Structure 1
Amino acid sequence: MKNKQELCLLPVLVVACLVSKMGGSPLSSPILIGPDKAYLNSKVVFQCRSPGSPPPITYELLKDGNHLVATSNDLQDDQSATFSLKISVTSEGSYHCRVTAGGNTGLSGTVLLQVVIPVSGTMVTSDPNPPILYEGSRLVLSCDVTRGSHLSYTWFYNRQEVTSSPTSPLTPLLLWPVGNTLVVERVTAKHAGNYSCMAGTRIKTNSRFSSSGEVTVRVKAYLSVPQISFTISKEGSSYRGNVTCRSSRGTPPVTFYLFLDDKEMGSDVAMESLVAWFPVAIVPGRDMGVVQCRVESDAQRLTSKPLTLEVVPVGGSPKVDVEYLYRADSKMAAARLQCLLSLGTFPFFSWSLNGSILLHPSEGVSSHPSHALADEGRTLLLTEITLEDTGYYRCRARNSYDVTSAWVESEPVLVQVTEVSMTTLEVIAIVFCCFLMLTLAGGVACVMRMLNRQRGIVASSEQRGRERAANERRFSEHFCIIPDPLPLTDITTRPLRSQ
């Protein structure tokens, strides 16, 4: 029986011996330590450890599966191996370590290595190019490099870093970098300036950067409709006109054109401004035609309103219109005098008080500090009315372009200080209060009259009732009162019952 049991155990022992000879007990998983990123042409170190493995140990560094990179043997039970590699473009991939000890083999986990190419040749490109565009257009700036990988980008506007932080001073400009681009959907004048970028890579504490030069972005404003005006001057016995064409908004250079009765009379290129002047022939009192201005840029063409080129000499009878200004306490505070002129394209005004001339601003300072002239002398402001300012005021006018022309003068108007003067609003309030009081008084009187009348009617009714009762008593004492017979409709008949 014992021999039979030994014979049964013999195959088991043979199998165990074969297994021991083929591979022995399995190894624990090795550990591979190495970088996940490395600069091109730099040196990196991979370390493979297999704790608990008996010597001799063979370490193999494999790439992308089974491609053998390096081998190391451990004969002294150090249980680790170090592999030094110089990084090339082909070094990128997945690495693992294979350990063989005592006839057993173990594989480590994978380390993914990325090769980082240092950045160089950073520059800013723009769309449109060159970066000159009108308000409302789309601007795209790109930070391009000639060489580099795994890059991060930083943008600068007028040497200030552009960030997405809401507290950044550049946030109102809506500059949002995306990848290596900086996009502005609708540019404004505030977006004009100098832009630059910096591209860089960072591997732990080792950073490498490359900065671009600055690119100047110009934002052009659209032109406004030109305004046209003209002046006249006298040179000896002849007259000369000067037409001014002006746009209040836009970006030069622009070209102005002058048309007289739809015929081009001249042009002028404004390089640094938005105004141009054109000499024209002119005669006072004569219609010289209709002039118009046109302004052109590389994106617009605008024309002014037509203007009749006619100078009407000063004439007619001026009139002074006086308006008093009052304080909150209804006391006079100031006065405004306006000289109304019926004829005259270019008048020159002058004022006088009690026959004394008040100087025009172009001639000097007025002797009265409380006097101020406005609207090219057409309006005289009395900022403080005192006894010295009380008197008769006149205005007169002549042609501003001819100092030898005759004056036309208005009638004198008296301006004096009044102690109290109620405003229109106060007068309306007083009248309304009086009307309200009269209405209330009338209403009360009507109500009282109605009450008294009602009391009189009640009293007279009671008096008539008493008199009627007294008359009935006296009549009943001397006569027999027979009541009125019943009407036939009130008499009912009943049939007799049969016995």
Structure 2
Amino acid sequence: MSHTYWSDSEEISIHTSCWTMTKRTFFLLVILGFCAMWQKADAQITLGKPKLSVPSRSLVDSYENFYCELDKILTNQTILYQWFKEGNLNKPLGEYSSHSKEPATFPVHVKLAYDGRLICKASVQNDSEIIPTFSDLMDFQVLVPVEGAHIISSPTLGDLWEGDNLSLQCNITKGTYVLYNWLLNGVQLLNDSSNNQLTIPRLSSQNRGIYACLAKNNLNETHDYTSESERRNVHVKEYLSTPEISFEVVKHPKGNFSAYVKCQVAKGSPSINYTLFINNHVAHIVSSEHQHALFPVHIVLDQDMGTVYCQADNGRTPVQSRELKLAVESVGGPVRIRLEKAVRQDFEVYGVWIYCSVEKGMFPRYYWFHNKKSLESPGPFYRTFHPNDAGLMVTLHPDSAGFYHCEAFNSFDNTTGVSSPTILITYEAFNKIPTAVAATVFTVFSLLICAVLACCIYGVVLRKRRVRKYMFRLKDFTDMHGIVDDEGVDDKIEEIEEIEEIEEDEYEEIEHDDVDTEAYTEDMEVVQASMMEDSDKSEEEEENNLDNYSF
């Protein structure tokens, strides 16, 4: 075995040669990769984006043409078009090979399986290197005519009571893209047309009637494919209200009496079982299709026959009436009349209402008489009111004047009755002024005249007193003027004026309401003028006296 030994220089040369070859190989591979990528990129831009044209909706088993074409074709090779349903791109539903760049046409026999979103694929036939392109998704509806519509109710329509919940569902055996309309007694209800279910949360009598659903779908907005379901008659049973109990008395030809007890409900669905209890014992049971029932009971007048009540039942909770005392009191005792007037705005009485009432009697009936002649209502100037004719309205005019009275009888027996007192009704009697009113008005008027006269006399006397007082003051002033000199006179005048002011103040505090201000002012002016004249005369007399004295 021989071994080869390399020198260091030779070994370095060998490594350098290997590295150079490795770099060349790497660069060659990179260039080949770029070339391959360039070819693939060139293949991608060769085909444009295809466009799929389909109708928006079609009837099942009809024939349609779908179209697909490329925006631009940059190759002369054969183009393969295929269309698919979304979600299943591995199974084409149709193919078309285009050799001269013409668009693809797909004749289609429409099936229900084609309903959904469709897409078209374009690729170069027999060349997998060129990347295929896809169109946008298109919606396609397959319409199936509606058949076999029917209503299913929950709960069943047998036993439905007010307050229950009811759900009606309109089901079909065939049909797509169906709209639903609900009708009650032929009138369309407001509901969501896309919902095949109608829910009524709380049933009432307004929900009673015949329900029907109308299922339809449209093709090109021109034709309707409809099917009306079998109708459902919804009968809502009402709960019974509290029954009312009453009775009427009937006299038989033999002279005996019976009370017909009536048990009646205001609301409630038939059939209804009525039960009458007398003294808490079952007396009669009646089944009726009406909201009332009658029970005959033998009675004796003016005798307590006990108590009665009734019970009604229509399948749910029975309801019971109040207890009623079964005692019939016949008419008797005094009869009273009450009268009310009808008055206009000018206080003229133009009519009267007369009310008649008897002291005893459970079923009284009243008859009215005018001048002992029976009145048959309505008449020319009167009419009766109240169910038992207990009231009479009379219009006042000459024909209505006269005497009125009423008579009370048993409503079930008019053989015996009692009569009321007689009253006189005339226009003059109700429209004359009463003596008491006239006396009152005359008295008030006389007192008013006396008060005015007393005020006048008091004013005259007061004025004379004031004039007399000033005359006395004037006389006192004149006497004093003859004694004192001018300075004394002035002081005296001032003193008198102060006294007058004090007296005037005192007088105003005591009798300020009775003083005649204008008369007082005039008297003051007269007194002042008189005082001025007296003062002038006194001065002249003093001058004359001084002239007579000579020194």
Q: CA deviation at 1:345?
A: 1.9
Distance change in 2, residues 1:318/1:39 (3 Å): same
Matched, 1:416 2:426: yes
- With normalisation by structure 1, the TM-score equals 0.72
Residues in 2 aligned to 1:329 and 1:478: alpha-carbon distance in whole angstroms: 78
Matched, 1:262 2:280: yes
Residues in 2 aligned to 1:116 and 1:192: alpha-carbon distance in whole angstroms: 35
What's 2:509 paired with?
Answer: none
Q: Is the 8 A contact 1:231 1:242 kept in 2?
A: yes
Residues in 1 aligned to 2:429 and 2:402: alpha-carbon distance in whole angstroms: 16
Residues in 2 aligned to 1:84 and 1:292: alpha-carbon distance in whole angstroms: 81
Matched, 1:241 2:259: yes
**One-letter amino acid of the structure 2 residue matched with residue 129 of structure 1:** T
Matched, 1:95 2:119: yes
Question: Per-residue displacement from partner, 1:435-488 (whole Å, max 9, x unpaired)?
Answer: 9x999999999999999999999989988987787677566449999x9xxxxx
Q: Is the 8 A contact 1:50 1:80 kept in 2?
A: no
What's 2:83 paired with?
Answer: 61
What's 1:325 paired with?
Answer: 342
Q: 2:400 aligns with which of 389, 410, 416?
A: 389
Question: Per-residue displacement from partner, 1:280-338 (whole Å, max 9, x unpaired)?
Answer: 12111110011112222334433222211111122112233333434455544433333
CA RMSD of aligned residues (A): 4.5
What's 1:169 paired with?
Answer: none
Q: CA deviation at 1:243?
A: 0.9
Which residues of 2 match residues 294-333 of structure 1 at below 5 A?
Answer: 294-328=311-345, 330-333=347-350
Which deviates more, 445-454 or 374-383?
A: 445-454
Residues in 2 aligned to 1:323 and 1:464: alpha-carbon distance in whole angstroms: 72
Q: CA deviation at 1:341?
A: 0.7
Matched, 1:30 2:53: no
Q: Is the 8 A contact 1:38 1:87 kept in 2?
A: no
Question: Per-residue displacement from partner, 1:91-133 (whole Å, max 9, x unpaired)?
Answer: 6454222232695433222224455544322223344431765
Residues in 2 aligned to 1:85 and 1:114: alpha-carbon distance in whole angstroms: 14
Residues in 2 aligned to 1:138 and 1:454: alpha-carbon distance in whole angstroms: 99
What's 2:95 paired with?
Answer: 71
Which deviates more, 134-143 or 274-283?
A: 134-143
**One-letter amino acid of the structure 2 residue matched with residue 351 of structure 1:** W
Which deviates more, 452-461 or 115-124?
A: 452-461
Residues in 2 aligned to 1:100 and 1:453: alpha-carbon distance in whole angstroms: 145
Q: CA deviation at 1:217?
A: 2.8
Which deviates more, 387-396 or 130-139?
A: 130-139
Structure 2: any 5+ residue segments left out of the alignment?
1-30, 492-551
What's 2:156 paired with?
Answer: 129
Q: Is the 8 A contact 2:334 2:418 kept in 1?
A: yes
Question: Per-residue displacement from partner, 1:377-436 (whole Å, max 9, x unpaired)?
Answer: 533534544434322223223334345x43322222222233872899xx99xx99x99x
Distance change in 2, residues 1:58/1:327 (3 Å): same
Give the secondary-structure state (helix, strand or coil) at the position aligned to 1:19.
helix
What's 1:375 paired with?
Answer: 386
Q: CA deviation at 1:177?
A: 6.6
Residues in 1 aligned to 2:235 and 2:432: alpha-carbon distance in whole angstroms: 60
Residues in 1 aligned to 2:340 and 2:41: alpha-carbon distance in whole angstroms: 125
Distance change in 2, residues 1:339/1:15 (3 Å): closer
Q: Is the 8 A contact 1:24 1:102 kept in 2?
A: no
**One-letter amino acid of the structure 1 residue matched with residue 195 of structure 2:** G
**One-letter amino acid of the structure 1 residue matched with residue 273 of structure 2:** T
**One-letter amino acid of the structure 1 residue matched with residue 170 of structure 2:** C
Which deviates more, 441-450 or 226-235?
A: 441-450
Q: Which runs of 4+ in 1 moved over 6 A?
A: 175-178, 437-472, 478-481
Q: 1:230 aligns with which of 239, 244, 247?
A: 247
- With normalisation by structure 2, the TM-score equals 0.66
Q: Is the 8 A contact 2:180 2:195 kept in 1?
A: yes
Q: 1:107 aligns with which of 134, 158, 162?
A: 134
Residues in 1 aligned to 2:264 and 2:37: alpha-carbon distance in whole angstroms: 108
Residues in 2 aligned to 1:412 and 1:265: alpha-carbon distance in whole angstroms: 47
Q: Is the 8 A contact 2:70 2:122 kept in 1?
A: no
Which deviates more, 146-155 or 459-468?
A: 459-468
Distance change in 2, residues 1:442/1:412 (3 Å): closer
Q: Is the 8 A contact 1:50 1:99 kept in 2?
A: no
Q: CA deviation at 1:200?
A: 2.0
Give the secondary-structure state (helix, strand or coil) at the position aligned to 1:23.
helix
Larger Rg over CA atoms:
2
Give the secondary-structure state (helix, strand or coil) at the position aligned to 1:317.
strand
Q: Is the 8 A contact 1:223 1:251 kept in 2?
A: yes
Residues in 2 aligned to 1:90 and 1:234: alpha-carbon distance in whole angstroms: 87
Q: Which has the higher helix share?
A: 2
Residues in 2 aligned to 1:16 and 1:200: alpha-carbon distance in whole angstroms: 59
Give the secondary-structure state (helix, strand or coil) at the position aligned to 1:121.
coil
Q: Is the 8 A contact 1:60 1:71 kept in 2?
A: yes
**One-letter amino acid of the structure 1 residue matched with residue 90 of structure 2:** H
Q: Is the 8 A contact 1:295 1:303 kept in 2?
A: yes
What's 2:215 paired with?
Answer: 199
Residues in 2 aligned to 1:330 and 1:348: alpha-carbon distance in whole angstroms: 34
Q: Is the 8 A contact 1:60 1:68 kept in 2?
A: no
Give the secondary-structure state (helix, strand or coil) at the position aligned to 2:427.
coil
What's 2:499 paired with?
Answer: none
Q: CA deviation at 1:27?
A: 1.5
What's 1:158 paired with?
Answer: 185
Distance change in 2, residues 1:452/1:262 (3 Å): farther
Distance change in 2, residues 1:379/1:479 (3 Å): closer
**One-letter amino acid of the structure 2 residue matched with residue 29 of structure 1:** K
Distance change in 2, residues 1:354/1:401 (3 Å): same
Q: Which has the higher strand share?
A: 1
What's 2:168 paired with?
Answer: 141
Residues in 1 aligned to 2:41 and 2:352: alpha-carbon distance in whole angstroms: 124
Give the secondary-structure state (helix, strand or coil) at the position aligned to 1:406.
strand
Identity of aligned residues (%): 22
Residues in 2 aligned to 1:306 and 1:77: alpha-carbon distance in whole angstroms: 101
Which structure carries more relative contact order (alpha carbon 8 Å, separation 6+)?
A: 1
Residues in 2 aligned to 1:473 and 1:189: alpha-carbon distance in whole angstroms: 118
Which deviates more, 455-464 or 65-74?
A: 455-464
**One-letter amino acid of the structure 2 residue matched with residue 75 of structure 1:** H
Distance change in 2, residues 1:109/1:334 (3 Å): same
What's 2:4 paired with?
Answer: none
Q: Is the 8 A contact 1:291 1:306 kept in 2?
A: yes
